Amino acid sequence: MSFLISDAMAQAAPAQQPGLLESMAPLILIFVVFYFLLIRPQQKRAKEHKTMVAALAKGDEVTTNGGILGKITELGDNYVSVEIAKGVEVKIQRSAIGSVLPKGTIKTL
């Protein structure tokens, strides 16, 4: 039966090595995607938080990263005193302020 099927005699194609750019392209593409999807937004959020913390003023109503609502009563270089209830003040780090609330949000103080 081997006379019906002829043996294929193919020459081996010359092996070509991919160029440096072709071999590095997937790695570069992955880095670009990570930069635009992860690194850049995180840097933007950190910059916004830094400007928000720098602009804190006495009387601002804030939320801490722990979820505590209060009104700023005293400002320091690194620490802020926040009144969370009448006569109850806590001292927290400036960086622990999560967000500044609109005036009049906290009505129970």
pLDDT digits (tens, 9 = 90+) for 5-52: 666 665 666 767 778 888 899 999 999 999 999 999 999 999 999 999
Q: Mind listing the pLDDT tens digit for each residue in 57-90? A: 999 999 999 999 999 999 999 999 999 999 999 9
pLDDT at 105: 87
Radius of gyration from C-alpha coordinates of the chain: 31
> Which pLDDT band, with edges at 50, 70 and 90, does 3 fall under?
low
**CA–CA distance, 76 with 39 (Å, rounded to integer):** 31
Calpha distance 91→108 (Å, rounded): 20
- Given a cut of 70, whether residue 1 has pLDDT beyond it is no
Per the prediction, the chain carries an average pLDDT of: 88
Continuous segment of H or E residues that includes residue 100:
strand 97-101
